Amino acid sequence: MKIPVFDPSWPEEIIALYTHDMREIWDDAIAIQIWNQYHNQLEQYKTFAPSDKVLDILDVGCAQATLALQLAEVGHRVMAIDLRQEFLDYATSRYEKGKIDFVQGNVLELKLGGKFDLVYANQIVEHLVYPTEMVAVLKKLLKPGGRLVVTTPNWHYLMNSLPSFIELGDPKNWEHRQFTADGDGHFFAYKGTELRQIFIQAGIAQVETTYFESPWISGHMKLRYLHGILPGGALRNLDRLLLCLPVLGKRFSHQLLVTGIQTV
């Protein structure tokens, strides 16, 4: 994956994307806690795509497509979808090797040829007010035995102040907020039980819930000041220890991951 080359003629949202990209992937000196946080998320996602077997993978809402590009580079066949063509253009500028197709559009409306062993929908379900519809569509895109992975901010997190999905009430009242991007667009968060039930309603089997990313990794609660002092391995060990605690693990997890299998 190539390092991006800054272009002052970019529109404002691509400059913002570039800024995120630099501190998340390319320069840990800018904000070490963000670098640690993002790399921890990538490693969490990539556990579902071991490099010893070639998979057909779909990444929905890929943004700058870092995950998709990295998966293609280790030999997987990847399709990366996003609503925004300018984001895909930026992603394409970082392409170096591997089999990857960039597709612009809404996955709820696109007619995709073929099915996938693995579908990611990372950090997008919190921008939808009809999540069951999306999960049902993604289920149909899975091969038998294929896996869906959905991640989103965790409602149970100690620092969360947003309502849960069910607490929003009638989704029609929130349709104008659909597809709002980035953290500024968050207007609710999911409880694990809520997202798990959406998977079950859509017919996904073997549903599992994981809570991850404690403040030791995110840098929240002023622990970011320790990221320049403690080595990454120590932070990861402290993170794992906290997440293992029965009740506190859920309360101190910034992120929620729900996954399941297409059985037919």
Per the CB < 8 A criterion, the answer to whether 262 and 204 are in contact is yes
**Which pLDDT score is estimated for 225?**
96
13-25 per-residue burial string, b: 16 or more CB within 10 A, e: under 16: ebeebbebbbbbb
Nearest to 157 by CA among 41, 258, 251: 251
Neighbours of 222 (CB within 10 A): 8
How far is the C-alpha of 114 from the C-alpha of 127, rounded, in Å? 26
**Which pLDDT score is estimated for 109?**
92
* Rg from Cα positions in the chain: 18
**Which pLDDT score is estimated for 165?**
93
**Which pLDDT score is estimated for 264?**
82
Per the CB < 8 A criterion, the answer to whether 212 and 253 are in contact is yes
**Which pLDDT score is estimated for 177?**
76
Q: Which two tokens stand for residue 91?
A: 């992603």
**Which pLDDT score is estimated for 176?**
81
**Which pLDDT score is estimated for 172?**
87
**Which pLDDT score is estimated for 51?**
86
What does the DSSP assignment read for 14-68? HHHHHHHHIIIII-TTT-HHHHHHHHHHHHHHHTTS-TTS--EEEEET-TT-HHH
**Which pLDDT score is estimated for 13?**
92
> Could you tell me where the DSSP H helices lie in the chain?
12-21, 32-46, 66-73, 85-93, 131-140, 192-201, 215-218, 232-243, 248-251
Q: How far is CA 240 from CA 216, 217, 250, in A?
A: 9, 10, 12
Per the CB < 8 A criterion, the answer to whether 214 and 252 are in contact is yes
**Which pLDDT score is estimated for 185?**
67
Neighbours of 5 (CB within 10 A): 8
**Which pLDDT score is estimated for 184?**
61
User: Domains in the chain and their CATH numbers?
Assistant: 42-261 (3.40.50.150)
**Which pLDDT score is estimated for 114?**
87
The pLDDT profile of the chain, 264 residues, written as one tens digit per residue, is: 999 999 999 999 999 999 999 999 999 999 999 999 999 999 999 999 998 899 999 999 999 999 999 999 999 999 999 999 999 999 999 999 999 999 999 999 999 988 999 999 999 999 988 999 999 999 999 999 999 999 999 999 999 999 999 999 998 888 887 776 555 668 899 999 999 999 999 999 999 999 999 999 999 999 999 999 999 999 999 999 999 999 999 999 999 999 999 998
